[in-house]
Amino acid sequence: MFDALESGKLKAVWIACTNPLVSLPNSHQIEKAMANAKFVVVQEISHKSDTVKYADLVLPAAAWLEKEGTMTNSERRISYLPKEIEAPGEARPDVEIFCDFAQRMGFRGFSYNSAEEIYDEYASMTKGTNIDVSFLNYDRLKNEGTFQWPVNEYRHSGTPRLFEDKKFYTPSQKAIFNVPSTIENTSVKTNQDYPLILTTDDLENVLIVVPPQRAVMCSVDLHRTSFPLKSRAMAQTALALASRSALWISSAPTSRLRASKGARTAGSAMSSKSALWARDRHRRCISMPQNAHASRQMPARTASQAGVLS
């Protein structure tokens, strides 16, 4: 999609429930694609989102406590999420915005009265598939608790473990093992100037290995990247540059890097220079001022300046 947006084949994009400038790899390409788009709609709960600055129209959306719905986690467990508080300003649930837009465009079939009606239709569409939840509804979720799909029979209690019958979702019903063509490590190697390794994944965790035998977990996301770092100060700067989150940088000496997912704080021994330097995997030089920070604040989420549907 973003390849087409960058080339001009795709002219407009409507972005909801995601922040592609942070969540997608190759952020430089994403920035070019967004800048090249003729029209960008961003549906967001925060005006601090990186993607908002490219928006021609911002639609204020409700956060998870401000709307009713369900959530499915990585173990296939479906939970009911009740609405607990009112959304601020003109913020609305995503489904209300989508249905309102579809009705104004003249499309039929979007006259739902509640999120429950939408879920019932979705559940019926899964019947006979590998993710069959056709016998699950809001009433069961509210009264019986969470379920692991599939839930494909009357009063089915869910499926804690898949493939116990040793039949897999393949044409032969047998498991398929993919053998790698090579096990050679092709990542950038350490050397005398860059002795530290910073390795990340897409779960917002960073493992910084600081010799001797010292490792610290930090809550940022570099999109599955690993590259050498020359010092702990550089490691901290890399975290600040990559996370694009509220991050305090402290010049007070400490014995280790540290970060917490809630506060997004970090500290390490720092040089007295006004700027810290780090090199990314392409050896481009980047800097960040000392003691810089970006604060996150919840917006009122009104659309009077943005031109939301009314």
Q: Where are the domains of the chain?
A: 2-71+83-121, 196-289
Q: CB neighbours (10 Å) of residue 161?
A: 8
The helix or strand, by DSSP H or E, that contains position 87, with its residue range, turns out to be: none
CATH 3.40.50.740 fits 2-71+83-121, yes or no: yes
Closest among 143, 95, 83 to 119, alpha carbons compared? 95
Helix (H) / strand (E) element for 279: namely strand 275-279
Query: How far lies 215's CA from each of 8, 201, 203, 218, in Å?
Result: 45, 16, 17, 10
Torsions phi, psi of 286, nearest 5? -135, 155
Q: Can you give the pLDDT of all 310 residues of the chain as single tens digits?
A: 999 999 999 999 999 999 999 888 888 999 999 999 999 999 999 988 999 999 999 999 999 999 999 999 999 999 999 999 999 999 999 999 999 999 999 999 999 999 999 999 999 999 999 999 999 999 999 999 999 999 999 999 999 999 999 999 999 999 999 888 888 888 778 888 888 777 654 444 444 444 443 434 443 334 434 445 555 565 666 555 554 433 333 333 333 333 333 333 333 332 322 222 222 323 222 333 333 333 333 445 554 434 344 3
